Structure formats: structure tokens, C-alpha cells
């Protein structure tokens, strides 16, 4: 009997870890519910032979052998335990509306903590709708702020940040919109009206969206100095090499303001339905949702540091190793610099006896290294995102809300476009876009609309992307003009190229090298040359 109980306890623990932490958190969470939580399931003949009915109650959840086999993560979990867990999740989702009316997620009460602990089991669609209702209040309806931006100075900053005439768009924004005026940017549309100095632009929405996207992309640019590549990227090993982490050296008052305003812009990306591809490490998003950073977060972006810590913890570094490769009380930070763990630590040798103390000091330093920058970002996020609404979200759900789907699947893009589905050129276009990378599909959207990605699930752009086809007088593809776009009306005009290969070449040329966007703008290249 004892052995049986012990076995059930182990299985229950494994179930909790596998289902709650590994399976319910991925983005396809509700594929799970769509497949498994129907009131009545019709087992196949194969199912009936292999797996008996788990309950006589027709309204109870049932899992077939085939369904278990198709989900490898769940194969080792006993079906009765899995059934009970899914039934509990169903009950939670059926009662969560009333439950949340009685709970203040911002307090420290036991029930609030329990709801937050169970948040990964609450339907993403429900949480997004609840979040939308909490955030989309008190929107500004006064005339938009009219802001003046000089993109030539911003371009110069990317090339030569120390030039006296260089100034990033983010800093230009901060100088024009003090904190007391930030509420004027909370709008269910483009947050501002822009005058682009030195450019022949008429802003009917397109240039404002384009400027917002450029400012958000600038936040991640090395010249701004707010974010840096991960240690894994520098070492060219380990996961998450494409992501960015806060720059722990960015501590000046000016950089503090830039972090805060960056957080504000991240919220506006959701409120104004202008999703942006912020490529931040998962622990950045987790910090916004109230989670504390763990050493596993550091390991996820710093494989060399993880390797060293685990070698020490496993006893793989002994006295002979320390004699051969002496260590002092220093740690390599996120920049790759050696930092003393205490004054004079660079001159103190680490002995075998002090290795546990050394690892604890290293971990403590790394866990606190970026806290100031994360807190500044969170301050900006909290301007328009209430903390209690953030607590209910998982990190990936918040990222989805702000960034949309960064993979930009063509099947989803079609849902936000107006086009003639019977037209041969339209069919060719979708074939071409399928062959593009996700980044190229983002640039296609940016070229045509000024946005940088698809909206999050359940949301739409204010206006769909209209695709029109232009009959050219030129017959050969080589001489045909490139596609053009008008971001104000979210319209792209594409000549009727004869082959997918030429269509792909021409579209790539337009989106990568920036053909003039009709009446929206004419870039003043002379100004950039003069400033340089």
C-alpha cells in the first residue's frame, strides 16, 4: 500500500511539473483544450481496444490512447491523474470570471497569491480580454500632440552617437513630451501627429506609424546603449543568441529617462495596435509580470557562466585544478568584464573550502546586475499597464500582447489584408511571402503600413492592408518598377511580375532599400550628408 501511495505521489509531482510548467505555458495552450476538453469524445475502434473508458459520466473528460501518444510530454503521466488535472482546469476557467470580481491581484492576500500561482491554467483568450478591458480605459480623445522629429539627426546618431548634432528619436520624444503629458499618448490609434523636419511628408497616419516603429527599433539599436547582446551571442554558444538584455552600464539620468520612456512605448504598442518586435530575453517580460529573477534566467543567456557554476557545484573543480588555473574573487559580468566581488577581491585566491562561498557571491552579483534597468523599464510599463493586470499574465503572454506574433505566419497575414483571392498575382504573392523569412515579412508589413508586425490574437489593425496590382507598360520583369506603398492608407501597389522569382526580387529590393513611399515622404539625403 505504501509503495502504491509513493508511486502515486511521484506521478502527481511529475504531472504538476510537466503539465503546469512545460505544457500549459507554450503558446499553443488552447490547442490542448480544443483537443481534450470536449464534453463528449467519440473513441475510435483502436482507442477502445487499447484504452478503456475512464468514466461512465458522459460529461466527464476522456483521453484516448491515440491522443496521449500524439502528445509526447504527457505520455508518462497516468491517464486518471491527467483527467483529474484537466477537469480542475476546466472548473477554474468556468468560475474565473466570478472569482476575479472578488480578488484584488495587487494585494498580498492568500487568495490573490493562489490565483496568480494558477495563472498558467487560465485561458489565454480570457486573460487577454480581461487585460484589454483593464487597460483600454481613460483613452485620450483630445487632438493629438503635434511632435517634430528630425530623422536625419537620428540616422546620424546611429552612425556616430558622439556627433554634436546627433540625437536619437527617443530623446527627441522625451524633450517634447514631459512625464505629465504622457497620458496624451494613450490613444486607440496612432499616438501622435508628426512633422518630419527636412522631409516632404503629409501625415495622415502613415508617417506617424512609421515614426513610432522607427523609435521602437531604435530602442534596441546598439547606438542607443540601452540593450546589449547576450553573453551567449558573444561566445557563439547556447540558446537565445538572438535576444537582448538590459545594459547594466546604462545608469545616467538621461538613460534612466530613456528606459522609462521605452517602457511607455511598449505599452503604446498594444494600446495603439502597433505591435513591435522587441527581442528581449524572457526574464525581462517576467520582471514586468511580478516574477523575481532566478539563476536559471541568467543561465538562459549565459552558458559559460552556467557551465562554471555547475562544474563547481558538482565538485569538478578541485585543489589541483585551482592550482593549475587560479581563481580570484571576481566574476565575469554580462559585458564580459571581470568584476571584483568585494573590494580587493581580485587579489584574493579562491580555495577549495571557499568555493561554495564564491559561487553564492557570483550568483548574487549576477542576479542584481540588471535590476536597476529592469525597474526603470517596469516604471514605464506601469504608466498604462496596471500591475494587477500584469500579474495575471505569463511572460510569453505579455510578449504576445506587445509584439504580436513575431513569426508572421502567412495564414494570419491574409486575415488582415484586402486582396482578390482569385487573382493569379495574389496567389503568386502568398507563395513568395511563404518563402520569405519572418523578418522579411515584417519588413513587408512595415513598408506597406508603417507597422512592424501582426496584431495579437483577438485584435485587428485599424485598417487592413490593401493589395492592388498595377499593369505596367514595360513587358520584361527586369525593367518593371518596384512596388510602391502609401502607409497612410495601408496600401501597397505591386506590378504584375511574370514569375515568383522576379516578384520576390522586386519586393525584397523595395522593402530592404526603401523605395520612396509615394506622397508620404521624401527623405532628405542631402541633410544626412551635411550633418555627417
| Residue located via cell numbers 505504501 | 2
**Cβ–Cβ < 8 Å for 474, 503:** no
- HSE at residue 96, side-chain half, CA atoms within 13 A, is 24
Q: Residue 93 is placed in which grid cell?
A: 476557467
Residue spans of alpha helices (H) in 326-482: 355-368, 371-381, 387-391, 395-403, 410-414, 424-435, 438-449
390-421 b/e (C-beta count within 10 Å ≥ 16 → b) = bbbbbbbbbbbbbbbbbebebeebeebbebee
How far, in Å, CA of 257 to CA of 31, rounded?
41
Cα 518-521-522 angle, rounded to 5 deg: 95
DSSP structure class, residue 496 = -
* E runs forming strands in 42-175: 146-149
User: How many other CB atoms are there within 10 angstroms of residue 247's CB atom?
Assistant: 19
Neighbouring CB atoms inside 10 A of 9's CB total: 10
Q: How many whole angstroms separate alpha carbon 241 and alpha carbon 232?
A: 6
Catalytic annotation present for 102:
no
Q: Which residue reads 475502434 in cell numbers? A: 45
Cβ-proximal residues to 225 (8 Å cutoff; 6+ apart), any chain: 161, 247, 249, 250, 255
Residue entry with cell 507597422: 451
Collect all residues with Cβ–Cβ distance below 8 Å to 419 and sequence separation of at least 6: 426, 429, 466, 467
Between CA 481 and CA 57 the distance in angstroms is 66
List the beta strands (DSSP E) in 38-129. none
Quote the DSSP letter at residue 193. Answer: E
Give yes or no for a contact between 15 and 82, defined as CB atoms under 8 angstroms apart.
Answer: yes
Whole-number Å distance between alpha carbons of 276 and 273: 9
- The torsion angles phi and psi of 107, rounded to 5 degrees, stand at -90, 180
Q: Which cell numbers hold the place of 152? A: 536625419
Residue 205 in contact with residue 519, Cβ under 8 Å? no
Measured on CA atoms in the order 376, 382, 388, 391, is the torsion positive or negative?
Answer: negative
**H and E: helices and strands count for the chain:** 25, 10
Cβ atoms of 81 and 11 within 8 Å: the answer is yes
Residues labelled as active-site residues: 488
Amino acid at each position: 500500500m505504501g509503495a502504491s501511495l509513493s508511486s502515486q505521489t511521484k506521478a502527481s509531482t511529475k504531472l504538476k511539473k510537466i503539465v503546469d510548467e512545460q505544457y500549459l505555458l507554450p503558446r499553443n495552450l488552447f490547442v490542448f483544450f480544443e483537443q481534450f476538453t470536449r464534453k463528449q469524445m467519440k473513441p475510435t475502434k483502436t482507442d477502445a481496444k487499447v484504452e478503456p473508458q475512464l468514466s461512465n459520466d458522459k460529461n466527464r473528460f476522456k483521453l484516448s490512447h491515440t491522443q496521449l501518444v500524439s502528445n509526447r510530454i504527457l505520455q508518462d503521466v497516468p491517464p486518471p491523474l491527467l483527467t483529474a488535472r484537466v477537469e480542475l482546469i476546466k472548473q477554474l476557467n468556468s468560475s474565473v470570471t466570478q472569482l476575479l470580481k472578488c480578488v484584488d491581484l495587487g494585494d498580498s492576500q492568500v487568495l490573490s497569491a493562489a490565483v496568480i500561482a494558477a495563472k498558467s491554467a487560465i485561458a489565454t483568450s480570457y486573460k487577454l480580454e480581461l487585460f484589454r478591458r483593464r487597460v483600454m480605459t481613460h483613452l485620450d480623445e483630445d487632438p493629438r500632440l503635434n511632435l517634430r522629429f528630425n530623422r536625419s539627426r537620428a540616422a546620424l546618431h546611429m552612425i556616430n552617437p558622439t556627433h554634436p548634432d546627433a540625437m536619437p528619436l527617443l530623446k527627441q520624444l522625451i524633450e517634447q513630451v514631459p512625464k505629465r503629458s504622457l497620458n496624451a499618448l494613450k490613444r486607440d490609434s496612432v499616438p501622435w501627429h508628426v512633422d518630419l523636419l527636412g522631409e516632404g511628408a503629409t501625415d495622415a497616419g502613415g508617417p506617424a506609424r512609421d515614426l513610432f516603429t522607427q523609435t521602437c527599433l531604435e530602442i534596441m539599436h546598439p547606438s542607443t546603449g540601452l540593450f546589449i547582446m547576450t553573453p551567449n551571442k558573444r561566445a557563439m554558444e547556447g540558446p537565445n543568441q538572438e535576444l537582448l538584455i538590459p545594459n547594466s552600464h546604462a545608469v545616467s539620468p538621461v538613460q534612466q529617462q530613456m528606459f522609462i520612456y521605452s517602457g511607455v512605448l511598449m505599452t503604446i504598442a498594444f494600446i495603439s495596435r502597433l505591435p513591435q518586435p522587441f527581442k528581449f530575453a524572457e526574464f525581462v517580460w517576467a520582471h514586468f509580470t511580478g516574477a523575481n529573477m532566478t539563476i536559471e534566467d541568467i543561465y538562459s543567456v549565459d552558458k559559460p557562466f552556467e557551465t562554471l557554476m555547475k562544474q563547481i557545484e558538482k565538485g569538478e573543480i578541485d585543489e589541483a585544478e585551482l592550482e593549475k588555473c587560479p581563481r580570484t574573487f571576481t566574476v565575469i559580468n554580462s559585458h564580459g568584464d571581470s568584476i571584483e566581488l568585494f573590494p580587493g577581491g581580485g587579489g584574493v585566491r579562491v580555495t577549495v573550502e571557499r568555493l561554495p562561498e564564491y559561487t553564492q557571491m557570483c550568483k548574487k552579483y549576477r542576479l542584481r546586475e540588471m535590476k536597476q534597468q529592469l525597474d526603470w523599464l517596469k516604471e514605464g510599463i506601469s504608466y498604462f499597464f496596471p500591475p494587477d493586470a500584469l500579474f495575471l499574465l505569463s511572460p510569453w503572454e505579455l510578449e504576445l500582447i506587445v509584439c504580436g506574433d513575431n513569426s508572421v505566419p502567412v495564414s494570419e497575414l491574409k486575415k488582415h489584408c484586402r486582396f482578390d483571392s482569385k487573382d493569379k498575382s495574389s496567389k503568386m504573392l502568398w507563395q513568395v511571402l511563404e518563402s520569405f523569412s519572418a523578418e522579411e515579412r515584417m519588413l513587408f508589413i512595415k513598408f506597406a503600413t508603417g507597422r512592424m508586425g501582426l496584431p495579437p490574437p483577438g485584435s485587428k489593425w485599424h485598417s487592413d492592408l490593401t493589395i492592388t496590382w498595377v499593369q505596367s507598360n514595360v513587358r520584361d520583369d527586369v525593367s518593371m518598377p518596384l512596388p510602391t506603398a502609401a502607409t497612410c492608407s495601408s496600401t501597397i501597389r505591386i506590378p504584375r511580375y511574370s514569375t515568383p522569382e522576379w516578384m520576390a526580387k522586386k519586393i525584397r529590393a523595395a522593402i530592404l532599400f526603401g523605395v520612396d513611399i509615394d506622397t508620404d515622404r521624401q527623405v532628405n539625403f542631402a541633410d544626412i550628408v551635411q550633418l555627417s
